Structure 1
Amino acid sequence: MQALQFSATGSLDSLQVKRLAKPVPGAGEVLVEVRAAGLNPSDLKNVLGRFPYTTTPRIPGRDFSGVVVEGPKELLGKAVWGGTGKGFSFTQDGCHAQYVVVPANAVAPKPKSLSFAQAATFGVPYITAWDALERSQVKAGTRFLIIGAGAVAKAAQALAKARGAEVVMAARRADVVRELKAQGVDAFELPEAGQLPEQAQVHFQTLAPEVIFDTTGYWLSAAVNTLAAFGRIAVIAAPVDGLISMPILDLYRRGGSVIGINSLLYSLEECAEIFEKISAAFDGELPVPDDFTELPLSKAVEAYNKVNEGGSEKIVLIP
C-alpha cells in the first residue's frame, strides 16, 4: 500500500511516501480502506519530535474516514470515521496511508450528511472541543467566551451553539473577526489584556462569561480576571516552555477553576463513543464544513511542509 512514514523525529527530513505491506487485522480488529485523512497540527508536531513517547518508524495521521474491508461481518462495507485517541500515530501506525488497522469498537458510523473528506476534518478539533464543553459544563444558556479562531475554537462554537449556549468569540486579527461576523458569529477583536473583562461584558450584556475556552495558551491571566463567580476556564495550549503566569489570588476569590483539555488522554474506543455523540448532533444542528483543501496522499510531504511554514487552511489527504 501507499503510506506516509517517518523514520526519525526532529525534522521533516525523514518523512517519505513509501510502498509498505498492507496491515493485517487481528482478532477484534478491522481493516479500514482510508478514503480521506485529516492533517492536524499535532501530526506535524509528532514528526517534529514534540511528543517524546513517539516510536519510529511510524505512519502519522490521527483522523480518518473510510470503509471497513476486513473484520466482523456486521461491519464489512460500512462507512466509518474514527481516530484521534491515545497512541494512535504515536506508538501505533496512524492513518496517512491507504489502509489502517484499529480495534473494531474504535470506529463509528460516518454521518450520511458528510462526505468522506468532510468527515476527515472533524476528529481532533471536534473531540477536543467536545471534551472542553463537557468538562467545563457548557449547556443551554451558558455564557461562553472562546478565545482564538482556529479549528478547535470553531468546533467549540458550533457544538456550543447546538447546545443552546450564548457564545462569543474573540480573535487577534481584525479580518478574522469580520469573517466570523459575516458568518453570523458574535465576535470581537482581542484588546489589550486589561480590557478583556470590559469587552467581554459588552458582548454578554454587562454579565461576565461563565466559561472561557482559551485555545491559544496566551490569555489565561486575562481570562481569570474576566471570569464570573464559580466560572471555569478550559485551556488546550501553552507557550513552548509550558509556563505561564496566572493571578491565582483572583482565581480563588472568584471560586474559579482551570481545566486542562487533552484528547490524548482518551483511547481510540472512547473517542469512537464521542464520534457517535457528535454524529447525533448532525441532525440539522451542526454546519457542514467546506473550508478545507484536498490533496492526494502522494503530495503528503508537500502538505506537511505547507503546515510547517504557517499555512492555516485545513488539509485533507486522499489516498
Structure 2
Amino acid sequence: MNALQIRQFGAPETLELVTRAEPALGPGMALVRVEAASINPSDVKNVAGAMKQTTLPRIPGRDYAGVVEQGPAEWVGAEVWGSGGDAGFTRDGTHASHIEVPVASLRRKPERLGFAEAASVGVNFITAWSGIVEAAQVKAGETLLIIGAGGGVGGAAAQIAHHLGARIIGADRHAPRPDAPIHRLAAHQVIGAEDLPAAVRATTGGNGADAVFDTVGGVTFRTALGCLALRGRLIEISATGQREVTFNLADFYHNESRLLGVDSLKRDLTASARILEALAPGFEAGVYRPAPIAETVSLRQAREGYRKVADGIAGRVVITPNAGDAA
C-alpha cells in the first residue's frame, strides 16, 4: 500500500511518500480501500508535532470514504465513510491507499454523496454535533451564536442547528464565502461588530444567546462569554492565540452560565461512526451539505495540499490515494 508517513515532526514538506505492506487483519478488523480522504487543520498540526499523543512513525489523516476490501462477508464491497480522533494519532490514519479499521466502526456512505464529498464531512460535522447536540443540547426556538461561522465547523454547526429549529446568529471577522451555509441559514446577517456582545443583545431584544458555539476560542473566550443569555451555555472547541483565559467569576455565576469543553479527538473511529450514523439521514435528504471541495490532489501532491490547508485555503482539500499514485 502507498501512504504518507510522519517520521519526524515538521512542515508539510517533511511528510514522506512510502510503500508499506498491507496490515495483517486481526479479529474484528476490516481493510478499506481509501477512495478519498480530506486534510483537516488538525492533520497539519499533527505533522507539525502539536499533538502530544501521536506516536511515530505514523500515517496521518482522520476522515475517509472508501470500499471495504477485506472483512466480514456482509461488508466486503460496501461503500463506507468514517472518521476518528485516534486515526492518524495513535493508530495509522487515512492518508494512504488502504486503512485498517474496526468492523464496529464501519458505516455505509450516504448514496447521495460521492467519495470526495463523504470524506469532507467527518471532523467538521462530528465536532459540531458533539458541541450542539450532545454537549449544549440546543433545542428548537433557542438562539445560537456561532463564532467563526464562515469556517468548516461553523458551517456544519449552522446546518445542524437550523435542522433542530434553532435561531442562528453568525459572527466572523472575515466575510464568509457567498455559498457558506451561514448566509442561507442565519437569522441575521453575519456580525463582524467590534462590540459583539452589544450587537448580539441588540438582535435578541437584550437577552443574549441561549448558546454560543465558539469555534475560535482563546482570544474570543471573554467576548463569547459576554454574549450569553441567562443560563446560557458556552461551547469551546479550540484555544486560538492563548491557552489560558480569565473572566469575572461573580458575573459568571450570577448569570448561571455553563461552560462546556468539546474535543473531537476523544471520539475514536467507533464513537465517531455513531455520530455519522445519526447524521446520515440528513445527508441523504439533502438537509446537510459538506463544505465545498477546493481541490483534489493525489498522494504525490498531498504535501502541497497540506501546505494549502496550513495557509487557510477556503474549502476542503481532498486526497485521492488510489488515483494512479505509486510511491
TM-score of the superposition, structure 1-length normalised? 0.93
- How big is the shift at 1:178? 6.1
2-structure distance, mates of 1:187, 1:269: 38
Contact 2:81 2:119 in 1 (8 A): yes
Residue correspondence of structure 1 range 266-281 to structure 2 within 5 A: 266-281=267-282
- 1:35-46 superposed matches below 5 A: 35-46=35-46
How many angstroms does 1:184 deviate by?
5.0
Distance 1:120 1:210, change over 3 A: same
| Deviations 1:217-255, CA, capped at 9 Å, x for gaps | 122212222211111000111135411222322211110
Judged with a 3 Å threshold, the aligned counterparts in structure 2 of structure 1 residues 33 and 263 are, in CA distance, closer, same or farther, namely same
Aligned residues with identical type, % of pairs: 37
> Are 1:248 and 2:258 an aligned pair?
no
Match of 2:49 in 1: 49
Residues 259-298 of structure 1 mapped to structure 2, 5 A cutoff? 259-284=260-285, 286-289=287-290, 291-292=292-293, 293-298=295-300
Q: Do 2:158 and 2:185's aligned partners in 1 also have CA atoms closer than 8 Å?
A: no
Q: Equivalents in 2 of 1:189, 1:142: separation in Å?
A: 18
Aligned residues: 315
Q: Which residue of 2 aligns with 1:163?
A: 164
Measured on the aligned residues, the alpha-carbon RMSD in Å equals: 1.8
8 Å CA contact retained: 1:171, 1:187? no
Structure 2: distance between partners of 1:308 and 1:197: 30
1:1-319 to 2 correspondences below 5 Å: 1-85=1-85, 87-133=86-132, 134-148=134-148, 149-173=150-174, 175-176=175-176, 180=180, 183-185=184-186, 186-192=188-194, 195-217=195-217, 218-284=219-285, 286-289=287-290, 291-292=292-293, 293-319=295-321
- Could you tell me which runs of 5 or more consecutive residues in structure 1 were left unpaired when the two chains were aligned: none
Structure 1's consecutive aligned runs of 4 or more residues displaced over 4 angstroms after TM superposition are: 177-182
Q: Which structure 2 residue ranges, 5 or more long, are not aligned?
A: 322-327
Q: Work out the CA distance in 2 between the residues paired with 1:30 and 1:83.
A: 15
Query: TM-score, length-normalised on structure 2?
Result: 0.91
Aligned partners of 1:318, 1:45: CA distance in 2, in Å? 21
State how far apart, in whole Å, the 2-side matches of 1:316 and 1:283 are: 21
Whole-Å separation in 2 of the counterparts to 1:26 and 1:304: 31
- Call closer, same or farther: CA 1:179–1:171 in 2, change over 3 Å: farther
CA distance in 1, matches of 2:69, 2:252: 52
Distance between the aligned counterparts of 1:237 and 1:70, measured in 2?
Answer: 37
SS in 2 for 1:36: strand
For the 8 Å contact 1:136–1:234, the answer to whether it is kept is yes
Q: Residue type of the partner of 2:307? A: N
Bigger shift: 180-189 or 162-171? 180-189
Decide whether aligned partners of structure 1 residues 159 and 168 sit closer, same or farther in structure 2, where only a CA change above 3 A counts.
same
1:115 deviation in Å? 0.6
- CA offsets 1:166-206 (integer angstroms, 9 cap, x no match): 11111112x328665754533323222xx222211333354
- The whole-number CA distance in structure 2 between the counterparts of 1:83 and 1:177 is 26
- Residue 138 of structure 1 aligns with an amino acid whose one-letter code is V
Q: Is the 8 A contact 2:160 2:288 kept in 1?
A: no
Is residue 160–residue 167 contact of structure 1 (8 Å, CA) maintained in 2? yes
